[in-house]
Amino acid sequence: MSEHNQDLSNMKQATKFINAGAHPDPSTGAIMTPIYQTSTYVQAAPAQHKGYEYARSQNPTRKALEEALAVIENGKYGLAFGSGVAATDAVIKLLSPGDEVIAGNDMYGGTYRLFSKVFARFGIVFKYINQSDAENVRKAITPNTKLIWVETPTNPLMNISDIRAIAKISKENKVLLCVDNTFATPYLQNPLDLGADIVMHSSTKYIGGHSDVIQGALIMNDADLREQLYFIQKSCGAVPGPFDCFLAIRGIKTLHVRMKQHCENGKIIAHFLRNHPKVGKVYWCGFEDHPHYDVAKSQMRDFGGMMSFTLKEDTAEAATKVLTATRLFSLAESLGGVESLINHPASMTHASIPREERIKNGLSDGLIRVSVGIEDAGDLVEDLKRAIG
């Protein structure tokens, strides 16, 4: 069990991120958690073991990561999964047919696909609403509602939901609240401190930070909830391998340093885009005139390096010209790595959302998403300047 490391709970973020889950290896003193590449563990006699029976259920490298995840999100328990969607999948498996989930109408396309194409077939009912106004969430609750799923900031339109207000509604109605904290990361936002029951991450993104691992995470405070989710983790088996856990532990150690730079570069790129004569709208939650700026400011420590924009000529053709003309921003799915990426949500990350649905919720065919990396900001500006023309 990955209990919160009490010694770190009063420390500042930088100290937490570097030391979370780190205990010198008892057999050698190795300062870095070894990669325990094993599927099973020898027992002295039946059921006489050292707490490790079979690696789907327990692995020491994964245990160190899970402890680290709990520490960085100010939670008691962490669980690591083979991908972000596997972590989401585990949360939905807490539910039964007939149960209702209130989700956002602007969120990662893969989450929408998992909900609408997989779990809807098993009788779980999903309602997609605009969660930027917490009252919409209250209105959508019925006696069958069991879970509120919030992504904030949203991918790709950077809408913000008020976690505190929605947590209050979830508690009043005895409904679970899970927050996908992938875009903000624990550096910028800690949903458990704001009243959420579960935090979910695609660790593939900023937590890993180097575009070399697919992984997911759940963090929670409630011991019963942890037992239920651990039961699902071991029963369904979507666990990450030990090498991937090692990479995520390594990523966490520099998360604060990387995020600081992502925020700094993000601010520069957002303002550059906004002032460009050929750019239409820029979606970034750090602008003071962003419709949810006050909420963002009250629950986030800074605004990050994710943003989207349209060109004044808001067409897929015009967007494609920019998407294929950058040299530093690589055209690729994913986000949150040290290198800058550029993406076309309509045909890439959000292609699984029906076009009418997408357009209705503000995601146009010409929308361009950027994940601003931590290269030199001046070089990044030059790259976009040349590509936009």
Ligand X SMILES: Cc1ncc(COP(=O)(O)O)c(C=O)c1O
205 is catalytic: yes
Helix/strand/coil for 107: coil
**Residue with Cβ nearer ligand X (108 or 272):** 108
Which residue in the list 25, 41, 52, 56 is annotated as catalytic?
A: 56
**Per-residue contact track with ligand X, 140 to 179, x per CB under 6 A?**
-----------x---x------------------------
Residue nearest to ligand X (CB): 84
Q: Which residues pair with 309 in a beta bridge?
A: 282, 368
**Residue with Cβ nearer ligand X (90 or 318):** 90
106 is catalytic: no
The structure tokens 């590509």 sit at 387
Query: What Cα–Cα distance (Å) separates residue 142 from each residue in 95, 125, 139, 198?
Result: 15, 11, 8, 21
Amino acid type, 206? Y
**Per-residue contact track with ligand X, 180 to 199, x per CB under 6 A?**
x-xx----------------
CB of 364 vs ligand X, minimal distance in Å: 19
CB of 299 vs ligand X, minimal distance in Å: 16
> Which listed range, 43-51, 64-72, 78-86, 133-141, lies at the site for ligand X (CB under 6 A)?
78-86
Q: How far is CA 123 from the centre of its chain?
A: 26
Q: Which of 189, 202, 233, 310 binds ligand X (CB under 6 A)?
A: 202
Amino acid type, 309? F
**Residue with Cβ nearer ligand X (333 or 382):** 333
Enclosing H/E stretch for 180: strand 176-180
Q: Which of 75, 84, 251, 305 binds ligand X (CB under 6 A)?
A: 84
Nearest by Cα to 218 from 89, 109, 126: 89
Enclosing H/E stretch for 79: strand 77-81
**Per-residue contact track with ligand X, 38 to 77, x per CB under 6 A?**
----------------------------------------
β-pair type (216-220, 77-81): antiparallel
> Which listed range, 34-42, 79-87, 185-193, 290-298, lies at the site for ligand X (CB under 6 A)?
79-87
- Is residue 216 part of the contact set for ligand X (CB under 6 A)? yes
Which residues from 97-116 bind ligand X, rule CB under 6 A? Answer: 108, 110-111
Question: If phi over 0 gives left and psi between -120 and 50 gives alpha, with beta otherwise, what is residue 295?
Answer: alpha
Enclosing H/E stretch for 13: helix 13-19
**Residue with Cβ nearer ligand X (192 or 341):** 341
The structure tokens 């019963």 sit at 224
230 is catalytic: no
Contact 258, 371 (CB under 8 A): no
Strand order in the sheet with 176-180: 77-81, 216-220, 198-202, 176-180, 145-151, 100-104, 125-129
- Is residue 85 part of the contact set for ligand X (CB under 6 A)? yes
**Residues contributing to the site for ligand X (CB under 6 A):** 83-85, 108, 110-111, 151, 155, 180, 182-183, 202, 204, 214, 216
Q: What is the set of active-site residues?
A: 56, 108, 180, 205
